[in-house]
């Protein structure tokens, strides 16, 4: 690795976006950290064969563009609770735990101990849904390109996309590939010629709620708000941003989606935030509810993130966490105004274009926060938390 220091003024409100986005400047960037102490500059670690000069110019240009296209915003903290105690475990300890298997590339499997916790968290989410009479939905883990295009996902988050494709219906092509795999137990050429493959027709889903809006296409809702809930694996390509179980390529997301008038959804979101604070208090996790923005592909869409901030469209529940920012977003509370309602022609019972919103609980992240705050020994977790999760003595 070779270090590269780029001296450039980066306003504090963009530190997170810059650190997240810098990896997409070049695959030769292995590490990137804004020098918060000095108040400016970014320190990179590059692969040995990297072209330092060209990377410096790319990163500098990208940061300048990001700054130019952004709107400054202030911190917006709605609520804060609990006492921050010293962390009981670090990311490395969690990853080394015998209760999970890390497979690299942001993939992890959980053994029985952690799976039971995740199941309990899922149950808590389901109780929450039942208490507001959200209707259950099951949706596919993939979505068509057209569908996500209509949801405006492709232009806004191109860095996170994972395409799905197949071989063309042609025995000779399929046989040739199988033959190649038969001969080896290791490396396989996984870049078959483009003419052997179908065009990329589908993507792995990046969130659960994207399947809910088209479900109601052309319909008039029978109530206001109509609440739907669904859970499933979601996929976001994170480049080198994958760390512990708090930033994965494949993570489990529970969502409650609201469709209705703007005012009911505003009120619904307030209620959902209050419920979440109660749940996290029971779990013994301190936190705060703070205004946030989606990680839009920075330079291109930074205006969108700052727009989200300015209109308080996204709040996150953040728990203190031993990472660079010192906190981890474990749940989000989003309003989309009438974007999906217009795109999918959804109407409220009073025949107005429906607004929508969604609340997402990241189950892996909540588990990660529990392990960091309460330690790896479940016996030592606070009594109230154990009761809430149904952990037996």
Provide the binding-site residues for Zn ion, judged by CB under 5 A. Answer: 207, 209, 358
282 binds, among ligand 5GP, Zn ion, none (CB under 5 to 8 A by kind): none
Alpha-carbon span 236 to 204, nearest angstrom: 8
Size of the site for ligand 5GP (CB under 6 A): 18
Strand partners, 5: 43
Q: Determine, following the binding rule CB under 6 A, whether residue 365 of this chain makes contact with ligand 5GP.
A: yes
Q: Which of 17, 19, 224, 246 binds ligand 5GP (CB under 6 A)?
A: 246
Rounded CA-CA distance 354/222 in Å is 12
Instruction: List CB contacts of 119: < 8 A, sequence separation 6 or more.
Output: none
236 part of the interface to ligand 5GP, by CB under 6 A:
yes
Tell the smallest beta-carbon distance from residue 294 to ligand 5GP (Å).
6
Helices 363-374, 112-131: crossing angle, 10 deg rounding = 120
Taking CB under 6 A as the binding criterion, the range among 126-134, 172-180, 244-252, 279-287 that sits at the site for ligand 5GP is 244-252
CB of 223 to ligand 5GP, least distance (A): 25
- Identity of the residue, 42 or 331, whose beta carbon is nearer to ligand 5GP in the bound complex: 331
Shortest distance, CB of residue 239 to ligand 5GP, whole angstroms? 11
Residue 313 binds what, of Zn ion, ligand 5GP, none (CB under 5 to 8 Å, by partner type)?
A: none
Residue nearest to ligand 5GP (CB): 362
Cβ nearer to ligand 5GP, comparing 57 with 81:
81
Judged by CB under 6 A, does residue 203 bind ligand 5GP?
A: no
β 355-362/314-320 pair status: unpaired
Q: Residue 332 touches which of ligand 5GP, Zn ion, none (CB < 5 to 8 A by kind)?
A: ligand 5GP
- 128 near ligand 5GP, rule: CB under 6 A: no
| CA dist., res. 377 & res. 386, Å (int) | 12
- 253 counts as binding ligand 5GP under rule CB under 6 A: yes
Asked if the bond preceding 225 is cis, omega within 30° of 0, the reply is: yes
Does residue 277 belong to the site contacting ligand 5GP (CB under 6 A)? Answer: no
**Applying CB under 6 A, which part among 3-11, 74-82, 248-256, 376-384 lies near ligand 5GP?**
248-256
User: Quick one: 55 or 358, whose CB is closer to ligand 5GP?
Assistant: 358
| Site membership for ligand 5GP, residue 262 (CB under 6 A) | no
In the bound complex, what is the minimum distance in angstroms from residue 10's beta carbon to ligand 5GP?
Answer: 22
* Binding at 357: pick from Zn ion, ligand 5GP, none (beta carbon under 5-8 Å per type): none
Q: Report the C-alpha gap between 262 and 88 in whole angstroms.
A: 42
Give the contact letters, 102-121, x = binds to ligand 5GP (CB under 6 A), - = no. --------------------
- Binding partner of 209, given Zn ion, ligand 5GP, none, CB within 5-8 angstroms per partner class: Zn ion
Which 3-state string (H, E, C) describes the chain? CEEEEECCCCCHHHHHHHHHHHHHHCCCEEEEEECCCCCCCEEEEECCCCCHHHHHHHHHHHHHHHHHCCCCCCCCEEEEECCCCCCCCCHHHHHHCCCEEEEECCEEEECHHHHHHHHHHHHHHHHHHHHCCCEECCCCCEEEHHHHHHCCHHHHCHHHCCEECCECCCHHHHHHHHHHHHCCCCCCCCCCCHHHECCCCEEECCCCHHHHHHHCCCCECCCCCEEEEEEEEEECCCHHHCCCCCCCCEEEEEEEEEEECHHHHHHHHHHHHHHHHHHHHHCCCCEEEEECCCCCCHHHHHHHHHHHHHCCCEEEEEEECCCCCCEEEEEEEEEEECHHHHHCCCECCCCCECEEEEEEEEHHHHHHHHHHHHCCCHHHCCHHHHHHHCCCC
Of 25, 134, 204, 248, which lies in the binding site for ligand 5GP, with binding defined by CB under 6 A? 248
- The binding track of 345-364 with respect to ligand 5GP, each residue x by CB under 6 A or -, is ---------------x-x-x
Which residues 329-348 are close enough to bind ligand 5GP by CB under 6 A?
329-332
Using the contact rule CB under 6 A, the part of the chain among 7-15, 21-29, 149-157, 240-248 near ligand 5GP is 240-248
Contacts with ligand 5GP, residue ranges (CB under 6 A): 207, 236, 238, 246-248, 251, 253, 294, 316, 329-332, 360, 362, 364-365
């Amino acid at each position: 690795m070779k270090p590269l220091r780029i001296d450039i003024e980066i306003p504090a409100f963009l530190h997170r976006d810059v650190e997240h986005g810098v990896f997409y400047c070049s695959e030769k960037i292995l590490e990137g950290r804004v020098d918060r102490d000095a108040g400016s500059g970014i320190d990179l670690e590059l692969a040995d064969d990297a072209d330092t000069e060209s990377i410096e110019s790319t990163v500098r240009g990208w940061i300048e563009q990001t700054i130019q296209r952004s709107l400054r915003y202030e911190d917006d903290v709605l609520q804060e609770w609990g006492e921050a105690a010293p962390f009981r475990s670090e990311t490395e300890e969690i990853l080394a735990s015998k209760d999970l298997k890390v497979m690299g590339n942001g993939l992890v499997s959980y053994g029985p101990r952690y799976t039971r916790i995740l199941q309990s968290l899922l149950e808590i989410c389901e109780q929450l849904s039942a208490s507001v009479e959200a209707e259950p939905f099951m949706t596919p883990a993939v979505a068509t390109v057209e569908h996500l295009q209509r949801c405006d996902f492709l232009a806004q988050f191109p860095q996170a996309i994972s395409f799905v494709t197949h071989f063309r219906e042609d025995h000779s092509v399929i046989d040739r590939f199988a033959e190649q795999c038969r001969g080896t137990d290791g490396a396989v050429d996984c870049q078959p010629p483009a003419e052997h493959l179908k065009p990329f027709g589908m993507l792995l889903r990046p969130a659960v709620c994207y399947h809910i809006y088209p479900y109601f296409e052309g319909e008039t809702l029978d109530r206001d708000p109509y609440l739907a809930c669904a859970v499933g694996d979601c996929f976001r390509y994170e480049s080198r941003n994958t760390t512990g179980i708090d930033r994965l390529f494949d993570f489990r997301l529970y969502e409650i989606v609201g469709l209705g008038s703007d005012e009911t959804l505003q009120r619904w979101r307030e209620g959902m935030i209050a419920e979440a604070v109660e749940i996290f208090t029971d779990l013994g996790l301190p936190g705060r509810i703070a205004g946030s923005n989606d990680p839009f592909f920075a330079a291109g869409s930074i205006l969108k993130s700052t727009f989200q901030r300015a209109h308080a469209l996204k709040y996150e529940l953040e728990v203190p966490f031993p990472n660079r920012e010192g906190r981890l977003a474990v749940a989000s509370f989003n309003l989309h105004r009438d974007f999906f309602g217009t795109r999918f022609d959804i109407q409220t019972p009073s025949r107005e274009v429906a607004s929508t919103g969604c609340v997402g609980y990241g189950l892996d992240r909540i588990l990660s926060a529990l392990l960091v705050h309460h330690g790896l020994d479940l016996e030592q977790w606070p009594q109230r938390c154990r009761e809430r999760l149904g952990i037996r003595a």
